[in-house]
Copies of this chain bind each other. A is one copy, B any other.
Amino acid sequence: MKKEIKEKNIKFFVTNADALADKYNLRGKINNIIAWYMLKMLGVKGEDSVKFKENIKEMYRDKGENIVNANLNVLDESIDYLREFAFNIFSETKDQEKKRDINSEMLHRRGNMLKVSDFLDHSDGTFEGGTSASDKRKVSNKVPKWCKENCIECNQCAFICPHAIIKPFSITEEELNNSLITKEDTIPSLGENNKGFYLGINTDNCTGCGLCTKVCPGKNGEKALIMEESSNKTDIICDYLNNNIKNETPFSKFTVKGIGFNKPVFEFPGACAGCGETVYLRTLTELYGKEIVIANATGCSSIYGASLPCTPYKIPWISSLFEDNAEFGLGIHTAYKTARDRVKEIMIETKDEVDKNVKDIFKTWIDNIEDSNITLEVKNQLEKANIRTDLKELIDYIPSRKVWIVGGDGWAYDIGFGGLDHVLRTNENIKILVLDTEVYSNTGGQTSKSTRVGAVAEFASTGKLKPKKDLFQIGMSIPNVYVASISAGANMNQTIKAFKEANEHNGPSLIIAYSPCIAHGIKGGLSNSVEEQKLLVESGYNILMRYNPINKELSIDSKEPNFQIYETVFAKEMRYKNLESINPKLYEKLYIENMNNAKNRYEYYHNLSKNKEVNKEEKTISKKEYL
């Protein structure tokens, strides 16, 4: 490439469009600047240039004169922000070549030079986990800085961060003595004597979405997190603490305050800045990381889950096709069950051949076969014990492990729905998480059966006419299925509660997780998505619910909606708002339809939550019940 650039005398420019946009309070909005460069490079001038500017005036007209002018000013100033690169800059990377390991080669974009033989260690299809940590992307020049004097240790920032770069640490005096920081860098750890609280920030992997500062309640009106120029001194501290301290806390892991102290097993996913999906995967993995396997459908979650060689996961995670992920997860579950049945058989067969204490361990395992802590402990004990070879070979199956099936709405509502329905009806102890963005996000915004009336999307360019499919109702109609509808930004505690109940339920569980997405076009960008999620719940657009199939109780966790503010939803999200300029009459009509659907939906569930007898009583009989 360098050779070609030289030979063809190609000019190479860089620009700091971000800085220019910032100057005019258009943070992150660099699209028009880049388009303008393109036009200039193509030699467009005169009247065509004018047309482009006219178009901008038209496009931003209803956002007010200031926004229009700012967008025009950045164009005029843009050429000043170009810097030409001299050719010799390219030779500098030459000495940086590293040892030839495939991850590194791919990270350095030399993947296509690898030989088949380089992959010998991966012939079973598995790859190392947690490799995202080595992909220091440094994509944002503004990153959060912790102002400890304003921190109340609520840990909402760590909870909401889409890229898992923020981590709370609770450090003993002894640990502090050996660390890169001193007691002065910390504040007293709440609820504990003599421990220091420190908020670690991996700025290298920050995308600058700003969600952390938005959720920060701060103290006396001052935020404990502010966005400023990047400096990665905190990365080293954060990595050190992560690897070297115990990080114990008196707070339950099932609280927003406590969950972040767990060792992360899902870090630095390469999702969009402000992605609304990853918070759910972080919650799931921080609660149950070592006890689960994830089967992942094609979609955004498979891209940020494994863009080889980078994966944010340090736990077993397997990618499947779009159309069969539920069946795929069921297969993993079944294989796991079968292996554990064999473990049980071997234990019974050999119980009189083994030492007395090993026999007791067998009994403990059989009596607590689904308990993740006890079964893990049994594994540790049996690793050292004298047991039959075939049992030794199955030792990885001794810990209890649940399969979580994960995918987007394109998978769950549409292409993989047949399988999802099938899995929910098996009455197996299997879990499903739907990351619902109400649109095919990864493939460019096509309408799915989760998209609501009035939303503009691919295949619904003049607003969708069909209502959203009600997956909650479908789940609830299937015997012994736990169902939850959650929205992390609207209610973090309810999100944690739902994951806990779903994982503990002895049967299939379905979590429908509302996930804000760039495709929604939220005004001001995804940094406003927490506020937006609250609005969606307050207005009745979303209802936070949990359905327990054991006692057939439907709990509505959100307050009675205020439909008076429903219009704000449409005004604030471009997926809806866009229709107004195309067809104002239809916009009005579909807005009302969308709201009526929400009203009827609320009424329906509200009635169900009061009247436990409305549901049909059809149950699945467990094998235990008659054996």
**Docked CA distance A590–B467 (Å):** 39
B-contact bits for A444-458, CB 8 A (1 contact / 0 none): 000001000100000
Q: Judge whether B467 and A619 touch: CB under 8 Å.
A: yes
Instruction: Assess A616 versus B600: contact at CB under 8 Å? Given A453-B621, A469-B425.
Output: yes
Can you name the residue of chain B whose Cβ is closest to the Cβ of A604?
B616
Q: How large is the interface on A (under 10, 10 to 19, 20 to 34, 35 or more residues)?
A: 35 or more
Q: Judge whether A626 and B425 touch: CB under 8 Å.
A: no
Q: Judge whether A422 and B414 touch: CB under 8 Å.
A: yes
Complex interface: chain B residues within 8 A of A108 (CB)? none
A138 within 8 A of B: no
**Docked CA distance A387–B586 (Å):** 38
**Docked CA distance A601–B477 (Å):** 12
B-contact bits for A403-427, CB 8 A (1 contact / 0 none): 0000000000011111101100111
Q: Judge whether A466 and B620 touch: CB under 8 Å.
A: yes
Q: Judge whether A479 and B465 touch: CB under 8 Å.
A: no
A356 within 8 A of B: no
CB distance from A410 to the nearest CB of B (A): 12
Complex interface: chain B residues within 8 A of A477 (CB)? 470, 473-474, 477
Contact of A617 among B473, B600, B625, B626 (CB under 8 A): B600
CB distance from A362 to the nearest CB of B (A): 28
A585 within 8 A of B: yes
Chain A residues numbered 572-627 whose CB sits less than 8 Å from any CB in chain B = 585-586, 589-590, 593, 596-597, 600-601, 603-604, 614, 616-623, 625-626
CB distance from A63 to the nearest CB of B (A): 27
Can you name the residue of chain B whose Cβ is closest to the Cβ of A466?
B620
Complex interface: chain B residues within 8 A of A479 (CB)? 466-467
CB distance from A368 to the nearest CB of B (A): 25
CB distance from A610 to the nearest CB of B (A): 13
- Which residues of A are at the interface with B, using a C-beta cutoff of 8 A? 414-419, 421-422, 425-427, 449, 453, 465-467, 469-470, 473-474, 477, 479, 585-586, 589-590, 593, 596-597, 600-601, 603-604, 614, 616-623, 625-626
As for how many copies of this chain the complex holds, the number is 2
**Docked CA distance A419–B449 (Å):** 12
CB distance from A471 to the nearest CB of B (A): 11
Complex interface: chain B residues within 8 A of A614 (CB)? 614
| A-B residue pairs, 9 tightest by C-beta | A418-B418, A467-B618, A465-B621, A600-B617, A604-B616, A466-B620, A417-B418, A597-B618, A600-B616
Q: Judge whether A419 and B422 touch: CB under 8 Å.
A: no
Complex interface: chain B residues within 8 A of A623 (CB)? 465
Q: Judge whether A619 and B601 touch: CB under 8 Å.
A: no
Complex interface: chain B residues within 8 A of A590 (CB)? 621
Enumerate 8 A-B pairs (CB-CB under 8 Å) in ascending A order.
A417-B417, A425-B466, A427-B465, A465-B621, A474-B474, A597-B617, A601-B616, A614-B614
CB distance from A474 to the nearest CB of B (A): 7
**Docked CA distance A10–B543 (Å):** 77
Q: Judge whether B601 and A621 touch: CB under 8 Å.
A: no
Contact of A626 among B419, B422, B586, B621 (CB under 8 A): B586
**Docked CA distance A623–B620 (Å):** 42
CB distance from A598 to the nearest CB of B (A): 10
**Docked CA distance A479–B469 (Å):** 10
Q: Judge whether A589 and B626 touch: CB under 8 Å.
A: yes
Complex interface: chain B residues within 8 A of A467 (CB)? 479, 618-620
Q: Judge whether B619 and A593 touch: CB under 8 Å.
A: yes
Complex interface: chain B residues within 8 A of A453 (CB)? 621
Q: Judge whether A417 and B425 touch: CB under 8 Å.
A: no
> Other CB < 8 Å A-B pairs besides A418-B419, A600-B617, 20 of them?
A418-B421, A421-B421, A422-B449, A425-B469, A426-B466, A453-B621, A465-B622, A465-B623, A466-B479, A467-B618, A470-B477, A473-B477, A474-B474, A477-B477, A585-B626, A589-B625, A597-B618, A600-B618, A601-B616, A601-B618
